[in-house]
Structure 1
Amino acid sequence: MKTVLIPTDFSDNALHAIEYAMNLYKCQRTHFYFLHAYADEVYGPFKKNNGASFEQQKETIKKNTDKALQSLVDQLREKWHNPKHDYDKVSAFESLVDAVNDFVQEVNVDLVIMGTKGQTADKKITFGSHTVQVFKYVQCPVLAVPENCEYQQPKKILFPTDYMLPYKRRELKLLNDLAAEFKSEIHCLYISDFDVLSDRQIDNRRFLRESLPNSFLFHETTPVTNKAEAILGYISQHDIHLLVMVNSRHSFLEDMLYRSTVDEIGLHITLPFMVMQNLPR
Structure 2
Amino acid sequence: MKNILIPTDFSGNADHAISYALNLFKCERTNFYFIHAYADEVYGPFHNVDDTNFEKNKNSIENLTNSKLNELVTEISERTHNPKHVYEAVSSFESLVDAVNNFSNLKNIDLIIMGTKGKTDDARITFGSNTIQVFKYVQCPVLAIPDGIEYTQPKKIVFPTDYMVPYKRRELKLLDILAAQFKSQVHSLYISDFEDLSVRQLDNKKFLEESLPNARLSFVVTAVANRATAIMNYIQEHQINLLVMVNSRHSFLEDMLYRSTIDEIGLKPPVPFLVMQNLPR
The TM-score normalised by the length of structure 2 is 0.95
Residue range with higher mean Cα deviation, 2-11 or 51-60: 51-60
Name the count of aligned residue pairs: 280
Query: Could you tell which deviates more after superposition, 252-261 or 35-44?
Result: 252-261
Q: 3-state DSSP class of the match of 2:124?
A: coil
Structure-2 change in CA distance of 1:78 and 1:183 (3 Å) = same
**In the TM superposition, what whole-angstrom CA distance separates every residue of 1:193-241 from its partner, at most 9, and x where no partner exists?**
654312211111001100112421110123x141000000100110000
1:220 corresponds to: 221
* More displaced 10-residue stretch of structure 1: 110-119 or 197-206: 197-206
Contact in 2 for aligned 1:148/1:270 (Cα 8 Å): no
Within a 5 Å distance, the mapping from 1:127-276 to structure 2 comes to 127-192=127-192, 194-214=194-214, 215-222=216-223, 224-260=224-260, 262-264=262-264, 268-276=268-276
Q: Is the 8 A contact 1:126 1:266 kept in 2?
A: no
Alignment of structure 1 residues 30-49 onto 2, 5 Å: 30-46=30-46
Contact 2:243 2:269 in 1 (8 A): no
1:147-167 Cα offsets, whole Å, 9 max, x none, are 021101110000000111111
Q: Which runs of 4+ in 1 moved over 3 A?
A: 47-52, 192-195, 264-268
Indicate the SS of the match to 1:53. helix
* Matched residue SS, 2:143: strand
TM-aligned CA deviation for residue 54 of structure 1: 1.1
**Letter of the aligned partner of 1:177 in structure 2?**
I
Aligned to 2:113: 113
Q: CA RMSD in A?
A: 1.8
Q: 1:264 to 1:148 in 2, by over 3 A?
A: farther
Assess if the C-alpha contact under 8 Å between 1:96 and 1:130 holds in 2: yes
Looking at structure 2, the residues matched to 276 and 109 of structure 1 have their Cα atoms a distance apart, in angstroms, of 13
Contact preservation (8 Å) 1:232, 1:265: no
Q: TM-score normalized by structure 1?
A: 0.95
CA distance in 1, matches of 2:132, 2:82: 31
Report whether the alignment pairs 1:98 with 2:98: yes
Alignment correspondent of 2:58: 58
CA-CA distance at 1:48 after TM superposition: 8.8
- In 1, the alpha carbon distance for the partners of 2:57 and 2:40 equals 12
**1:236 is paired with a residue of what secondary structure?**
helix
Cα distance, 1:60 vs structure 2: 1.0
1:15 aligned residue: 15
How far apart are the structure 1 equivalents of 2:145 and 2:161? Answer: 21
1:217 is matched by which residue type in structure 2? Answer: S
Partner SS for 1:46: coil
Structure 1 residue 258: deviation in Å?
2.6
Cα deviation for residue 123 of structure 1 reads 2.1
Amino acid at match of 1:105: N
SS at match of 1:189: strand
Shift of 1:70: 0.4
**2:14 pairs with 1:5:** no
What does the per-residue CA deviation read over 1:3-23, in whole Å, with 9 as the maximum and x for residues that have no partner? 000000000000000000000
Gaps of 5+ in 2: none
Post-superposition shift, 1:61?
Answer: 0.7
Question: More displaced, 8-17 or 194-203?
Answer: 194-203
Identity %: 67
Name the CA distance, whole Å, in 1 between partners of 2:266 and 2:14.
17
Q: Deviations over 1:64-99 (max 9, x none)?
A: 111100000000000001000001111111111111
Question: Displacement, 1:191?
Answer: 1.7
Alpha-carbon distance in structure 1 between the residues aligned to 2:59 and 2:199: 57
Match of 1:67 in 2: 67
CA distance in 2, matches of 1:120, 1:50: 30
Distance 1:51 1:121, change over 3 A: farther
* SS of 1:160 mapped into structure 2: strand
8 Å contact from structure 2 (residues 229, 267) kept in 1: no
Does the C-alpha gap of structure 1 residues 251 and 51 become closer, same or farther in structure 2, counting only changes over 3 Å? closer
